[in-house]
Structure 1
Amino acid sequence: MCGIWALFGSEDDVSSQCNAVHKITHRGPDAFRIENINHFRNCCLGFHRLAIVDDIKGMQPMRLYTYPHLYLIYNGEIYNHELLEKDFDLNTSTTCDGEPIIHLYAKLGAEMAASQLDGVFAFCILDTANRKVILGRDTFGVRPMFKLYDEATGFLAVCSEAKGLFGLSHSLNDAKASIEPLLPGHVEVYDLDQDGKARFMERKRFHKIGDLPKYRTLAPPVGDEVLANIRNLFEAAVKKRLMSERRIGCLLSGGLDSSLVTALLVKDAKEQKLPYPIQTFAIGMEGSPDLQAAKTVANYLGTDHHEVVFTPEEGVRAIEDVIYHLESYDITTIRASVGMYLISQYISKKTDTVVILSGEGSDELAQGYIYFHKAPSSEEGDRESRRLLEDLYMYDVLRGDRTTSAAGLEIRVPFLDHLFTSYYLSIAPEQRKPIKGIEKYLLRSAFSDTGLLPNDILWRPKEAFSDGVSSKTKSWFSVIQDHCDQQVNEDELEQAATLYPFNTPKTKEAYYYRKIFESRFPNKSKWIPYFWMPKWCETSDPSARTLKHYK
Structure 2
Amino acid sequence: MCGIAGIYRFDGHLFERGTIKRMGDVIAHRGPDDHRYLFWTPTQGHTLYRHSIQAPEQGAALGFAHRRLAIIDVQGGHQPMPNADETCWICYNGEIYNYLELRESLITKGYTFQTQCDTETILHLFEAEDTEALDRLNGIFAFAIWDSRRRELVLARDRFGVKPLYYAVYNNMLIFASEIKAILEVPGFPRRPDPLTIAEHFTFQNHFGDRTFFKDIKLLPPGHWLRCNASGEIQSGAYWKMRSVEPDRRDETAIAEELSFHFERAVTRQLISEVPVGTYLSGGMDTGGISAVAVRHLPAMHTFTCGFEVPRNADDLEQYFDESRESFSLADLLGTQHHEVRLDSTHNFAVMQQVAWALDEPRLGISYQNWYTNRLVREHVTVVLGGSGGDELFAGYPWRHGAVQGDSEEWNLAYYQQWIRFFDDETKTALFSDWLNRETVHFSTYDSFLEVMKNVHTDDPINRALCFDFQTFLHGLLVVEDKLSMAHSVESRVPFLDNDFVDFVLRIPGHLKLKEGQSKHIFKQAMTRLLPEETLHRRKQGFTPPDATWYRTVLRAEVTDLILGKQAVSRNYFRPEALQQIVDDHMQGRRNYRFLLWSLMIFEWWNRLFLT
**TM value normalised by structure 1:** 0.82
**What amino acid is aligned across from residue 137 of structure 2 in structure 1?**
L
Asked if 1:184 corresponds to 2:214, the answer is: no
2-side partners of 1:398 and 1:478: how far apart? Answer: 31
- How many percent of aligned residue pairs carry the same amino acid? 26
Describe the superposition over 1:284-324 as per-residue Cα deviations: whole angstroms up to 9, x where unpaired.
22365311111011010010011111221022211221121
**What amino acid is aligned across from residue 499 of structure 1 in structure 2?**
Y
Cα 1:369/1:490, change in 2 over 3 Å: farther
1-side partners of 2:113 and 2:145: how far apart? Answer: 17
Segment of structure 1 superposing worse, 289-298 or 38-47: 38-47
Cα 1:68/1:383, change in 2 over 3 Å: same
CA contact (8 A) 1:258 1:359 kept: yes
| Structure 1 residue aligned with 2:285 | 256
| Structure 2 residue aligned with 1:14 | 17
Cα 1:492/1:29, change in 2 over 3 Å: closer
| Structure 1 residue aligned with 2:308 | 285
| Structure 2 residue aligned with 1:31 | 34
Cα 1:479/1:386, change in 2 over 3 Å: farther
| Structure 1 residue aligned with 2:425 | none
C-alpha displacement of 1:521: 3.2
The partner residue of 1:101 within 122, 126, 129 is 122
C-alpha displacement of 1:453: 1.6
Between structure 1 and structure 2, the one with the greater Rg is: 2
2-side partners of 1:50 and 1:23: how far apart? Answer: 15
Asked if 1:441 corresponds to 2:521, the answer is: yes
| Structure 1 residue aligned with 2:382 | 354
C-alpha displacement of 1:258: 1.0
Describe the superposition over 1:310-358 as per-residue Cα deviations: whole angstroms up to 9, x where unpaired.
221022211221121112324x52x1x211110211222x32x100000
Describe the superposition over 1:179-214 as per-residue Cα deviations: whole angstroms up to 9, x where unpaired.
111111011111025xxxxx13321211113689xx
The partner residue of 1:140 within 160, 164, 179 is 160
| Structure 2 residue aligned with 1:217 | none
Asked if 1:499 corresponds to 2:567, the answer is: no
1:295-444 to structure 2, matched below 5 A, reads: 295-330=328-363, 332-333=364-365, 335=366, 337-348=367-378, 350-351=379-380, 353-377=381-405, 379-392=460-473, 394-433=475-514, 435-444=515-524
| Structure 1 residue aligned with 2:532 | 454
Asked if 1:484 corresponds to 2:559, the answer is: yes
CA contact (8 A) 1:105 1:113 kept: yes
1-side partners of 2:552 and 2:526: how far apart? Answer: 33
C-alpha displacement of 1:477: 9.3
Q: Which runs of 5+ in 2 are unaligned?
A: 46-59, 194-213, 246-251, 311-320, 406-458, 584-596
2-side partners of 1:112 and 1:290: how far apart? Answer: 45
**What amino acid is aligned across from residue 95 of structure 1 in structure 2?**
Q
The partner residue of 1:268 within 286, 294, 297 is 297
| Structure 2 residue aligned with 1:82 | 100
2-side partners of 1:267 and 1:477: how far apart? Answer: 45
CA contact (8 A) 2:167 2:175 kept: yes
1-side partners of 2:95 and 2:371: how far apart? Answer: 22
Give the secondary-structure state (helix, strand or coil) at the position aligned to 1:395.
Answer: helix
2-side partners of 1:123 and 1:16: how far apart? Answer: 19
The partner residue of 1:161 within 179, 183, 190 is 179
1-side partners of 2:327 and 2:345: how far apart? Answer: 20
CA contact (8 A) 1:431 1:442 kept: yes
Describe the superposition over 1:197-237 as per-residue Cα deviations: whole angstroms up to 9, x where unpaired.
xx13321211113689xxxxxxxxxx992101111111111
CA contact (8 A) 1:209 1:390 kept: no
| Structure 2 residue aligned with 1:522 | 611
CA contact (8 A) 1:85 1:91 kept: no
2-side partners of 1:123 and 1:191: how far apart? Answer: 17
| Structure 2 residue aligned with 1:536 | none
**What amino acid is aligned across from residue 517 of structure 1 in structure 2?**
W
| Structure 2 residue aligned with 1:46 | 65
**TM value normalised by structure 2:** 0.74
C-alpha displacement of 1:141: 0.8
C-alpha displacement of 1:364: 1.3
Segment of structure 1 superposing worse, 279-288 or 412-421: 279-288
CA contact (8 A) 2:308 2:344 kept: yes
Give the secondary-structure state (helix, strand or coil) at the position aligned to 1:225.
Answer: helix
C-alpha displacement of 1:458: 1.5
2-side partners of 1:517 and 1:493: how far apart? Answer: 11
CA contact (8 A) 1:141 1:183 kept: yes
| Structure 2 residue aligned with 1:60 | 79
CA contact (8 A) 2:278 2:383 kept: yes
2-side partners of 1:444 and 1:522: how far apart? Answer: 47
| Structure 1 residue aligned with 2:4 | 4
2-side partners of 1:483 and 1:38: how far apart? Answer: 52
CA contact (8 A) 2:308 2:322 kept: no
| Structure 2 residue aligned with 1:535 | none
| Structure 1 residue aligned with 2:423 | none
C-alpha displacement of 1:419: 1.3
Cα 1:248/1:384, change in 2 over 3 Å: same
C-alpha displacement of 1:495: 8.1
2-side partners of 1:390 and 1:115: how far apart? Answer: 17
| Structure 1 residue aligned with 2:134 | 114
**What amino acid is aligned across from residue 205 of structure 1 in structure 2?**
A
2-side partners of 1:76 and 1:138: how far apart? Answer: 9
What RMSD in Å do the two structures reach over aligned CA positions?
2.8
CA contact (8 A) 1:361 1:396 kept: no
CA contact (8 A) 1:210 1:426 kept: no
| Structure 2 residue aligned with 1:243 | 272
CA contact (8 A) 2:23 2:65 kept: no
Cα 1:236/1:44, change in 2 over 3 Å: same
2-side partners of 1:447 and 1:116: how far apart? Answer: 28
Segment of structure 1 superposing worse, 385-394 or 74-83: 385-394
**What amino acid is aligned across from residue 286 of structure 1 in structure 2?**
E
1-side partners of 2:97 and 2:255: how far apart? Answer: 25
Aligned residues: 485
**What amino acid is aligned across from residue 461 of structure 1 in structure 2?**
R
| Structure 2 residue aligned with 1:538 | none
| Structure 2 residue aligned with 1:463 | 541
Describe the superposition over 1:89-110 as per-residue Cα deviations: whole angstroms up to 9, x where unpaired.
242221101211111111111x
Describe the superposition over 1:112-146 as per-residue Cα deviations: whole angstroms up to 9, x where unpaired.
11111111110100000111101100011101111
C-alpha displacement of 1:487: 2.9
C-alpha displacement of 1:157: 1.1
Give the secondary-structure state (helix, strand or coil) at the position aligned to 1:148.
Answer: strand
2-side partners of 1:491 and 1:25: how far apart? Answer: 34
Cα 1:480/1:52, change in 2 over 3 Å: farther
1-side partners of 2:602 and 2:21: how far apart? Answer: 30
Give the secondary-structure state (helix, strand or coil) at the position aligned to 1:147.
Answer: strand
CA contact (8 A) 2:268 2:294 kept: yes
**What amino acid is aligned across from residue 342 of structure 1 in structure 2?**
Y
**What amino acid is aligned across from residue 488 of structure 1 in structure 2?**
I
C-alpha displacement of 1:13: 2.2
C-alpha displacement of 1:429: 1.9
Cα 1:200/1:291, change in 2 over 3 Å: farther
Cα 1:156/1:507, change in 2 over 3 Å: farther
2-side partners of 1:300 and 1:459: how far apart? Answer: 17
2-side partners of 1:229 and 1:343: how far apart? Answer: 33
